[in-house]
Structure 1
Amino acid sequence: MSSSVRSPMHADAILVSMREALAACAHPRLFETERGFQGQLMVELSKRIHLPEQAILEQEYQKRLSSHGLNIRPDIVIHEPYDRTKHSSRASGNIAVIELKLNASASEATADFANLAAMLKVLRYPLGIFVNIGSTETYGTLVPESAKGHIVTYGVSIAKGKVSVVETRT
């Protein structure tokens, strides 16, 4: 991971937890729907990730243009919920943002990378993660130059009961 990625948690600790959580999503049914996989990934991440005191894992949290400066619905965020008595802005306390896609095409991955890059820039998430469910293709080569070193991509698939996790650090 690039030394430019900084967060209250070390990026490598998040990525170790992510790899372990992805590998633990081992039921074939989970690879049929993005929502089903997302639910189990949240469970598995919760078991493994050690968050700072005020930080949480939150799913499908809508970013509103008026409050956040963009309106994107990331699949999962790891952050400290905004509290105006503790945070200088809504970008304070952001740790990682995760986008999931079931059997992504190159164009779908590119669109998710654009969303991740926007959240990295506007909300100052230090780490973006893309997970391509049901495929070993990570599309890491499609990450925009401006986001390289800040986005890690995964392909996760299952065959004969064995989960395969492929990681690309950009």
Structure 2
Amino acid sequence: MTSAEVLAGVRDALQSITAPRLFETERGYQGALLGQLDRRLQLPARVIVEQEYQKQAGRHGLTIRPDIIIHEPFDPERFADRTQGNVAVIELKLRSTAAEAADDFMSLGLMLDVLRYPLGIFINIGAERTWAELLPQALHGRVACFAVRLQDTAVTVVEAYR
């Protein structure tokens, strides 16, 4: 699955979430997004969309908890280590401030580098601003930034890449 295919699925999933209540909390939006991504991504066999739990330093080399991951779960019969089978990591923020976005960009950078995710995605919920201008140079071409908001019944998705 290419990064372009993942991003097309993310874009479609963001457009499909239209319940006003879901734009009020990060957790509510995350649940809806998980379901929509699972429906809209044409995932290869064994690859799943999953709400992530806390990473364990001993196993993963990190203790960051990403919001959503797209990956093939680790199987020692198939993979030499936990960096294989990773597709994309997603960080969500509800009406992010610049400082919060910068923190999430740092987390995404660590997950991309340590766990070798080929694609990072930042989604600013209930907002118009992607904060892509704050993306560190080292993450250019590796992280896509989205802002999604609902106005009346219309969903607006803004995308930015560097």
In structure 2, how many angstroms separate the alpha carbons of the residues matched to 1:61 and 1:86?
A: 22
1:60 deviates by 2.5
2:84 alignment counterpart: 92
1:83 equivalent in structure 2: 75
Quote the residue 2:155 is aligned against. Answer: 163
How large is the Cα RMSD of the aligned pairs?
A: 0.7
**SS of equivalent residue, structure 1 residue 54:** coil
Q: Among residues 84, 109, 112, which one is paired with 1:117 in the alignment? A: 109
The CA distance in 1 between the partners of 2:8 and 2:15, in whole Å, is: 11
Q: Distance in 1 between matches of 2:92 and 2:61?
A: 22
Rounded Cα–Cα distance in structure 2 between residues aligned with 1:146 and 1:68: 22
Aligned residue pair count? 162
Q: Distance in 2 between matches of 1:110 and 1:72?
A: 15
Q: What secondary structure does 1:125 align onto?
A: coil
- CA apart distance, 1:61: 2.4
- Give the secondary structure class of the aligned counterpart of 1:21: helix
Contact 2:38 2:48 in 1 (8 A): no
**SS of residue in 2 equivalent to 1:100:** strand
**Aligned-residue offset at 1:169:** 1.2
User: Residue in 2 aligned with 1:60?
Assistant: 52
TM-score by length of 1: 0.94
Q: What percentage of residue pairs aligned between the two structures are identical?
A: 49
Q: TM-score, normalization: structure 2?
A: 0.98
Structure 1, gaps ≥5 residues long: 1-8
Q: Secondary structure at the match of 1:98?
A: strand
